[in-house]
Amino acid sequence: MKLLSTLLACALADRGHTEDELNTIIAAHRMIRNGPLTDAVSSSLSSVEAFALESVESFGSQRSFSDAEKIVSMARNITNPSSSERAGYSDADDECDSEYPFIDGRCNHPSGNGQPLQTYARLLPASYCDGYGSPRCSSDGQPLPNPREVSVYLRSKFDPADRPNKKTSHFLNVAGQFITHTVLKTPDRKSIATCGCEENKHCLNWSTENDAVFAETECNFITRSSVSLGNYDGNLVLEQVNQLTGTFQAGVIYGFSEHHLNALRLPGTPFIDGNDMTIGGDVLPRTKTINARDSSFMNVTTPFELNPGLNERGYPSFVSGDPRAFENAFLGSFHVLFHRLHNVVAQELQNVFPNADNEYIFNEARKFNIAIQQKMLYEEMIPALFAENLEKFDGGSLKSSDVPIFQSEDRPIGPVVFNEFTTSAFRIAHSEQPNHVVSADSNYNITRQAELKDNFFDPHVMMLDGPGAICRGAAKFQSLSAGPSFADSVHHNLLKPHTASFGTDLFAINIARGRDHGIEGYKAYFDLFKKDPECAKLYRGWDGMMPKWRSLIRNQYREREEDVDLYVGLLMEEHLPGAATGPTASCIMMKQFKNSKTEDRWFYENDNFWKSRAKFDLVKKIDVATVMCMTLENMESVPDMPFIAEGSEILGRKRQMVKCADLLRNVDFKKSYGLDINKKGEELLDAIEKGLKDAGARNPDKNVKQIKKIMKRFDWMSENANVVGCENPAGAGIGAGDHSYFDFAVADFDICYSIKKYIEFTLKGFYDDFVCLDNAPSRKLQNFSRHVNKANKIFNRAKGKLGCFGERR
């Protein structure tokens, strides 16, 4: 407490903010940076930070390579506490043999990547002033320029109002913030309670004494990021850690631990709590409701409690997968969109499989949600960000595929997040933030415009107008395009308490954060990527840096171009034709998206993601416009490309309005999920097992094992099916072969008939109607009849014991 007041006292010399207001800003910033973590993860984080800081501070950074490696591996053991449970997996590991991504990210990759507390990867080695951990300084060892002064200088040269975004809608920004919160969250250091204006190795502060807006404030500050260790050729350096899995697995909706997920789930159902579609209702589960259900969830809900200094009307605090959900009302509404998608899908699946257990429905709906979110990123956001430049990066490897893809089995590093992406490239969107939150009616007329600066962590506008109105508002509204200055909402007023006249500056924070993480200067990346095999083509014919680049270097960076912060350089690149950013920023982002596509076990286009062509095809039909129609209130029509600005064109297509009813006609869960022959096989197997046991049959396990084995022979069929239509179906198309697919309900009381129906309708019917001769392996086609005969024999053995032929045997 004493420490806190000493530190605050100096920041409060400010007189511009009261103690309460300063505490509100600090608390809101903390909400953006920390938790909720399980006790085990939280204690690993504190331990690894203490270990890392002690290791570099007591001995300096220089060591033999193998010593450094030993120390790094000790740090890794701390972040993978009970290694057998949490660390990576090997192919032989049964526990990892799941159809569904693990909520805590385990079993993604043998390295342990894909689970929380992994260090960020780097595209260039760290550049700390002392060589191992103090914030970056100038190439001559002097301090770098004051970040607020750089921010103010650029604002004086570039008016954000001159940059209306003509290419994309604000909805793209909102989706960008949402996917950021899916993949990464860097925690503050645990070694200090609160930073202030005094010098402290865990803090980074900068003077604001001569600032026109913060004139009466002594300084602004950030708490430095928590750390683990890395080894660069025997140099031990601090490496920042990610609290999240670093993968696009919808943790932003479901959380990152079983405990968190259980808090969100409606007990005894496959649904997430908070299903109220009425405007002003409980659009998400309330903290209070969850706590009342079980007080052990308080460690999950507490980080979601909104601060009354921002949420002055006292709206309920809602829980989602990530506590940044209500940082602004656009983002909160986007959360509702994908929470609801889970429940809508779960309901559809329950209609298709009325007897399926809750876990099956929940897991399928979650996996479906994951796939739709990844599809949104790769098929709508990435093309909107880079347009025709996608062709120039790495031979077009980020483009999507209409058929399942076979990724290399060999994933050398596993999914990682690049530090340059976290601190710099993906923060570019901060410069696109508007001054307003807007809502629109069902005809997309803007009906409300509220100040963003008064609505941080305040769900007011969403509660008044509903998430549908806000999402439509974002799809209608074109905020700013990226550039080297910020709108007032985030330039002076970030996290402004309702009683204060200003908040803080996000541009300055971003510059400081890059230095905190030891991110090399812009020029080093520019020089590297111009010759990079994946990115070099992006630089050909590019227009270069914006005007004032030289005067920035002269006036702020003492003529030292190499000193310019990566973040500042990226913002000053002229954009590539059709793209939202310049070549270096695009290169960093595309490298990130390439890693997330090729190194993640659970990439939605991978052949082994669904093992069902029918589900793959269904996912491919559901775009963001369709999700809006499926989930939001008052939706009659929707822009078919909600991320693209009205009147703008992308890759030869222009956005147009379409009727929701037309889009929804395409989404037929009964057709696609009803075609899950593996699921039907499992249901039948369960019924046979139960029947044999009830009948007291001898050695039922043997029959079950034989049936399981023969059923596996038919797995390939759903992998090669195409419900949308084959050019060349095995049985000449629906109804044309000898058999027709028919989705029957397995009945416990009529197992004998269910077995017959399974063979006739599920196996033979599916084969005739949906197996495509063009892409099915010819050996499997040749063996189909033989395997069906074998299956008949095996089923007959069980049928005998079940009394299907008269007397039980």
Stretches 26-34, 254-262, 405-413, 763-771: which one binds ligand HEM (CB under 6 A)?
26-34
Which position among 71, 387, 429, 475 is part of the footprint of ligand HEM (CB under 6 A)? 429
Burial (CB count within 10 angstroms: exposed 0-12, middle 13-18, buried 19+), residue 84: exposed
Binding residues for ligand HEM restricted to 93-132, rule: CB under 6 A: none
| Nearer to ligand HEM among residue 251 and residue 691 (C-beta) | 251
| Binding mask of the shown chain, residues 727 to 756, with x at each position contacting ligand HEM by CB under 6 A | ------------------------------
What's the CA gap between 332 and 284, in Å, rounded?
10
Sign, CA dihedral 652-655-658-663, equals positive
Give me the least distance between CB of 608 and ligand HEM, in Å please.
30
Q: Does 506 bind ligand HEM (CB under 6 A)?
A: yes
Distance CA 737, CA 443 (A): 48
Region 513-532 residues binding ligand HEM, contact defined as CB under 6 A: 513
Residue least distant from ligand HEM (Cβ):
176
Q: How far is the CB of 428 from ligand HEM (least distance, A)?
A: 8
Per CB under 6 A, the list member of 184, 538, 711, 791 interacting with ligand HEM is 184
Q: Give whole-number Cα distances, 313 to 331, 463, 693, in Å.
A: 19, 11, 61
User: Any contact of residue 419 with ligand HEM (CB under 6 A)?
Assistant: no
Q: How far is the CB of 509 from ligand HEM (least distance, A)?
A: 5
Residue 7 vs 490, nearer CB to ligand HEM = 490
Nearest distance from C-beta of residue 346 to ligand HEM, angstroms: 29
Q: Do 515 and 127 contact (CB within 8 A), yes or no?
A: no
Using CB under 6 A, pick the residue from 342, 430, 680, 739 that binds ligand HEM.
Answer: 430
Minimum CB distance to ligand HEM smaller for 189 or for 260:
189
| Residue 185 or 679 having the CB closest to ligand HEM | 185
Mark the segment that binds ligand HEM (CB under 6 A) among 429-437, 571-579, 699-707, 731-739. 429-437
Nearest approach in angstroms of CB 319 to ligand HEM is 19
> Rule CB under 6 A: is residue 433 a binding residue for ligand HEM?
yes
* Residues 549 to 578 in contact with ligand HEM, rule: CB under 6 A: none
Does 436 engage in binding with ligand HEM (CB under 6 A)? no
- Give least dist CB 581 to ligand HEM, A: 11
470 close to 170: Cβ distance less than 8 angstroms: no
**Contact window for ligand HEM (CB under 6 A) among 193-201, 419-427, 684-692, 741-749:** 419-427
Task: Compute CA distances 400 → 15, 62, 172, 652, whole Å.
Answer: 55, 45, 18, 17
Helix axes 613-621, 358-375, angle to 10 degrees: 50
CB of 381 to ligand HEM, least distance (A): 9
Containing 528, the helix (H) or strand (E) segment is: helix 522-530
Closest alpha carbon to 238 in 430, 374, 377, 57 = 57
Query: Backbone dihedral region of 645: left (phi > 0), alpha (psi from -120 to 50 degrees) or beta?
Result: beta
CA distance 626 to 618: 12
The site that binds ligand HEM (CB under 6 A) totals a number of residues, namely 24
Q: How many Å apart are CA 111 and CA 742, to the nearest integer?
A: 45
Residues 246, 415 contacting (CB under 8 angstroms): yes
The distance of closest approach from Cβ of residue 507 to ligand HEM in the complex, given in angstroms and rounded to an integer, is 11
Closer to ligand HEM by CB, 88 or 187: give it: 187
| Smaller CB separation from ligand HEM, 327 or 364 | 327
What DSSP element (H or E) covers 505? none
Q: Are 235 and 62 in contact (CB under 8 A)?
A: yes
- Kindly tell me which of 513 and 679 has the beta carbon lying closer to ligand HEM: 513
Least separation, in Å, of the C-beta of 462 and ligand HEM?
14
Instruction: Report the alpha-carbon distance of residue 667 to residue 341 in Å, rounded.
Output: 13
Kindly tell me which of 243 and 407 has the beta carbon lying closer to ligand HEM.
243
Q: H helices of 449-505, where?
A: 460-465, 467-476, 488-491
Q: How far is the CB of 665 from ligand HEM (least distance, A)?
A: 33
Taking residues 312 to 351 in sequence order and writing x for each that binds ligand HEM by CB under 6 A, - otherwise, the string is ---------------xx-----------------------
Give the nearer residue to ligand HEM in terms of CB position, either 473 or 700.
473
Distance CA 769, CA 734 (A): 5
Taking the least distance from each CB to ligand HEM, the nearer of 422 and 648 is 422
Smaller CB separation from ligand HEM, 284 or 494: 494
Minimum separation from the CB atom of position 99 to ligand HEM (A): 31
Question: Could you say whether residue 422 binds ligand HEM (CB under 6 A)?
Answer: yes
Nearer to ligand HEM, 163 or 513 (CB): 513
DSSP-derived secondary structure letter, 306: P
Among 427, 436, 476, 597, indicate the residue that binds ligand HEM (CB under 6 A).
427
> Binding ligand HEM by CB under 6 A: which of 297, 426, 604, 714?
426
Instruction: Check: CB of residue 219 under 8 Å from CB of residue 228.
Output: no
C-beta of 242: minimal distance to ligand HEM in Å? 8
Q: Residue 119 CA to chain centroid, in angstroms?
A: 17
Please, which residue, 184 or 771, has the CB nearer to ligand HEM? 184
Burial letters 436-472, b for 16+ CB under 10 A, else e = bbbbbbbebeeebebebbbbbbbbbbbbebbbbbbbb
Kindly tell me which of 235 and 479 has the beta carbon lying closer to ligand HEM. 479
Does residue 32 belong to the site contacting ligand HEM (CB under 6 A)? yes
Subset of residues 164 to 183 that bind ligand HEM, contact rule: CB under 6 A: 173, 176-177, 180
By C-beta, is 407 or 586 nearer to ligand HEM? 586
CB 434 within 8 A of CB 250: no
Give 274 or 569: the residue with its C-beta nearer to ligand HEM. Answer: 569
Cα distance between residue 371 and residue 600, in whole Å: 13
Neighbouring residues of 652: CB distance < 8 A, sequence distance ≥ 6 = none
Three-state secondary structure readout of 634-651: CCCEEECCCCECCCCEEC
Comparison of 53 and 490: residue with beta carbon closer to ligand HEM: 490
Return the residue of 7, 56, 222, 480 that touches ligand HEM, per CB under 6 A.
222
Residue at token pair 């659009």:
283
Which contiguous run of DSSP H or E holds residue 702? helix 700-712
Nearest approach in angstroms of CB 178 to ligand HEM is: 8
Residues for the chain: how many in total?
809
Count the helices and strands in the chain (H runs, E runs). 35, 11
Piece of the chain touching ligand HEM by CB under 6 A; list 35-43, 88-96, 99-107, 505-513: 505-513
312 sits in the region (left: phi over 0; alpha: psi -120 to 50; else beta) called: alpha
When asked if residue 458 is in the footprint of ligand HEM (CB under 6 A), the reply is no
Distances in whole angstroms, Cα of residue 772 to Cα of each of 604, 720, 787 = 22, 7, 18
Considering only residues 475 to 494 of the shown chain, the ones binding ligand HEM according to CB under 6 A are 490, 494
49 or 327: whose CB is closer to ligand HEM? 327
Determine how β-strand 436-440 pairs with β-strand 446-451: antiparallel
Which residues contribute to the site for ligand HEM (CB under 6 A)?
Answer: 29, 32-33, 173, 176-177, 180, 184-186, 222, 327-328, 422, 426-427, 429-430, 433, 490, 494, 506, 509, 513
